[in-house]
Amino acid sequence: MLLIIGLSVHISAQAIESLSWDEAPQIELFSKPSMFFPVSHIELGEIERGDKKEMIFHFINNGNEDLKIEIVSGCECTTLDWPRTPIKSGQKGIITAYFDSTEKDHGETVEIDINLENKDPKTGYPMFVRVTYDFTFPEK
C-alpha cells in the first residue's frame, strides 16, 4: 500500500501568479516525512493544439526529515524538472512541468507522480505524492 501525501487545492493558471507563500495557511509540521503543496491542481483552461505551457508546483517539506525525490513522472506530453538534492525540513522547493499539446486530440487531466525515497513509517513502503493539471480544447 502506498501513501499519498499532500493537500488538494484547485486553482486556475491565471490565479497562480497571485499566490504567495505569505498568504498560504499556517503549515503544520509533522513527526514523519511529509510534503505540502498549497496548490496541487492547475487548470490550464482552453488551449489550442500545439500550445506549450509551463507550470510550477510549489511545495514545502513540513516533515521531520529530509525529503529525497527519487523520480517525478507524467505522460509523454509532460517534461518535468525537480530538485535532485534533499529538501530539508521547513525548506521550500518547486517542481516544474512543461506541457506540449502538439500530440493531443482532446482535453484531459494529467497526473504527475512524485516518488520519494522516504519510507512511510507505518508501512515501510516508499511514499509518493500526486499533483495534477487539466486542459480542454475548443469545441468545434
List, for residues 67-84, the tens digit of each pLDDT value. 999 999 999 999 999 999
**Four-residue CA torsion sign, 20, 22, 23, 27:** positive
Q: What is the mean pLDDT of the chain?
A: 84
Residue 48: pLDDT over 80: yes
What is the spatial distance between Cα 123 and Cα 2, in angstroms, rounded to a whole number? Answer: 8
pLDDT at 22: 52
Structure pTM?
0.79
Domain topology for 10-136: Immunoglobulin-like (2.60.40)
For residues 131 and 16, is the Cβ–Cβ distance under 8 A? no
